[in-house]
């Protein structure tokens, strides 16, 4: 449909079809192609909780997430680097994206201090003092070695006022400039083994490093050289990475538009993150923010709605042009005994399922539904058996993955508007029935 955006670095995005604002695309990365729209399962600590890579392949998962904050604290991004990078570490040969840790650091509330330079915080594990700057986060994400790395951004609560939202959004833009500069510097400086930020150095000083000279304001110089990495390193532990900016702005459409324009003017980014949503705001506000940035973002780049979400959020996002999603909900809810099904959510622990021979969802083709009854799954939960956690996590990740596959097929054959309206109508009728 559109010309592929060939970057020469192993990254490219090509739109295959569009129906209304919904898009079906191909996002090529050094570790394989992602057919969009797609849901990315979250492997915070280098494992999608309770699942292994074979489970993910069987589900049809394409790209997965890991988290820089968590992996920096445990086992240490230097350890991951020394063990060959995230792909080898976790045995996943497909594309990986790392979140920068912005969300985690700002969630620490009482444990952190924000300055223009960065964020000082205490580890949630051992209380040790740590310091994140845009530069150090780039170094951490370089050590981890994911295909796509997110900028370090300033995340605020979902209902923040315009002043706080503008402050965080503008800081995120200034930090993006610094992230990009560090990203470039690491590349120029040869990317030799051990060239990254040393964990020992970081931990030894225990406090803020000397403040660097910040760019006076954004937008900074536009560069495209960030795409120039030799193709032959595509599958090594230091294969090319793409830095995605994150668009902030709270629930204020003007701030969102302004941030999107500034980010776009700054660089020809390989993809764009839309952050700071699904953090407490009302759903209509979230949808409005996606609409606000739509016209400001280039058509031929993937759009990633961070931390979203539930099945209905994915459908609403796709209707508004989003290509990539991630959320811990399917695995977290799975461990809690709750399954997504085509008939709504199901709590497998309920007594009514004691002798129920049916699968969780008769319409589902996942390895859990093909093999096990609700009665058996209930038994596993009641008996605290580990297998139950895996089987429901597997089902839930499959549910969202398959939902996006179905949406993509509907975009490709132009049935998406009718299909998605029908899907949402059924969803809302079920929700209305549930007191």
For a second copy, the binding residues (CB under 8 A) are 45-47, 49-54, 74-75, 79, 82-84, 89-91, 354-355, 357, 367, 371-373, 375-376, 378-380, 382-383, 385-387, 389-391
CB 13 within 8 A of CB 25: yes
How far apart (Å, rounded) are the C-alpha atoms in residues 42 and 68? 12
Closest CB 386 distance from a second copy, rounded Å: 4
How far apart (Å, rounded) are the C-alpha atoms in residues 240 and 232? 10
CB 341 within 8 A of CB 366: no
Residue 90: enclosing H or E segment and its boundaries? helix 86-90
Closest CB 388 distance from a second copy, rounded Å: 8
Strands 346-347 and 246-247: unpaired
C-beta atoms surrounding 397 within 10 Å: 30
Residue 18, beta-bridge partner list: 23
The catalytic residue among 55, 77, 78, 99 is 99
How far apart (Å, rounded) are the C-alpha atoms in residues 108 and 93? 32
The catalytic residue among 55, 77, 326, 361 is 326
Nearer to a second copy by Cβ, of 51 and 156: the residue is: 51
CA 40 to chain centre: 7
Give the C-alpha distances (Å, rounded to integers) separating 63 from 40, 56, 87: 5, 10, 11
Is residue 99 part of the annotated active site? The answer reads: yes
Closest CB 340 distance from a second copy, rounded Å: 19
Closest CB 99 distance from a second copy, rounded Å: 17
How far apart (Å, rounded) are the C-alpha atoms in residues 10 and 229? 9
Closest CB 185 distance from a second copy, rounded Å: 26
CB 278 within 8 A of CB 309: yes
CB 134 within 8 A of CB 151: yes
Strand ranges in 379-424 using DSSP code E only, listed in sequence order: none
Dihedral of alpha carbons 261, 262, 267, 272, sign: negative
Closest CB 31 distance from a second copy, rounded Å: 16
Which residues are designated catalytic? 99, 326
């Amino acid at each position: 449909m559109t010309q592929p955006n060939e970057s020469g670095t192993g990254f490219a995005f090509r739109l295959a079809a569009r129906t209304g604002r919904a898009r079906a695309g191909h996002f090529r990365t050094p570790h394989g192609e992602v057919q969009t729209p797609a849901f990315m399962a979250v492997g915070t600590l280098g494992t999608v909780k309770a699942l292994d890579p074979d489970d993910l392949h069987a589900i049809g998962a394409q790209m997965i997430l890991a988290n820089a904050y968590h992996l920096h604290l445990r086992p240490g991004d230097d350890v991951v680097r020394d063990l060959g990078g995230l792909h080898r570490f976790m045995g996943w040969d497909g594309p990986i994206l790392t979140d920068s840790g912005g969300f985690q650091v700002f969630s620490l509330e009482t444990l952190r201090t924000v300055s223009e330079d960065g964020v000082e915080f205490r580890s949630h594990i051992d209380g040790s003092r740590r310091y994140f700057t845009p530069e150090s986060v780039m170094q951490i994400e370089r050590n981890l070695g994911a295909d796509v790395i997110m900028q370090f951004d300033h995340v605020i609560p979902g209902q923040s006022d315009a002043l706080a939202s503008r402050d965080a959004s503008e800081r995120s833009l200034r930090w993006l400039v610094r992230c990009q500069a560090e990203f470039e510097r690491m590349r120029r400086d040869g990317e030799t083994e051990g060239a990254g930020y040393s964990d020992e150095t970081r931990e030894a000083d225990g406090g803020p490093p000397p403040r660097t000279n910040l760019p006076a304001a954004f937008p900074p110089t536009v560069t495209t050289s960030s795409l120039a990495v030799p193709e032959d390193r595509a599958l090594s532990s230091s294969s090319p990475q793409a830095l995605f900016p994150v668009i902030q702005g709270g629930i204020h459409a003007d701030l969102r538009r302004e941030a999107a324009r500034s980010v776009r003017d700054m660089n020809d980014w390989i993809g764009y993150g839309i952050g700071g949503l699904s953090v407490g705001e009302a759903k209509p506000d979230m949808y409005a923010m996606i609409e606000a940035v739509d016209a400001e973002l280039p058509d031929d780049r993937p759009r990633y709605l961070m931390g979203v979400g539930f099945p209905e959020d994915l459908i609403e996002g796709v209707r508004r042009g989003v290509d990539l999603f991630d959320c811990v909900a399917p695995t977290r809810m799975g461990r809690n005994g709750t399954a997504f099904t085509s008939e709504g959510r199901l709590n497998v622990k309920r007594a009514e399922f004691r002798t129920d021979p049916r699968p969780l969802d008769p319409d589902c083709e996942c390895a859990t539904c093909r093999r096990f009854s609700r009665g058996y799954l209930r038994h596993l939960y009641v008996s605290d058996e580990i297998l139950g956690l895996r089987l429901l996590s597997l089902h839930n990740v499959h549910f969202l993955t398959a939902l996006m596959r179905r949406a993509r097929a509907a975009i490709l054959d132009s049935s998406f508007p009718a299909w998605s309206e029908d899907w949402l109508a059924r969803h809302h009728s079920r929700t209305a029935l549930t007191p």
